[in-house]
Amino acid sequence: MDRLWAPWRMEYIDKVNEPKKCIFCVDNSISEEEMFERLILVVRKDYVVLMNKFPYNTGHLLVAPRKHVGDFLQLTPEEGKMLFEGTQRAIEVLAEVMKPHGFNVGLNIGRVAGAGIAEHLHVHIVPRWNGDTNFMPVVGDTKVMPQLLKELYPKLKKAFEKL
Q: What is the DSSP letter of 21?
A: P
Active-site annotation, residues:
122
Picking from 23, 30, 26, 70, the residue whose alpha carbon sits closest to that of residue 51 is 23
Sequence-ordered list of residues with C-beta below 8 angstroms from that of 51, at least 6 positions apart, any chain: 39, 41, 59, 60, 61, 62, 149, 152, 153, 156
Angle at 72 between CA 70 and CA 76, to 5 degrees: 115
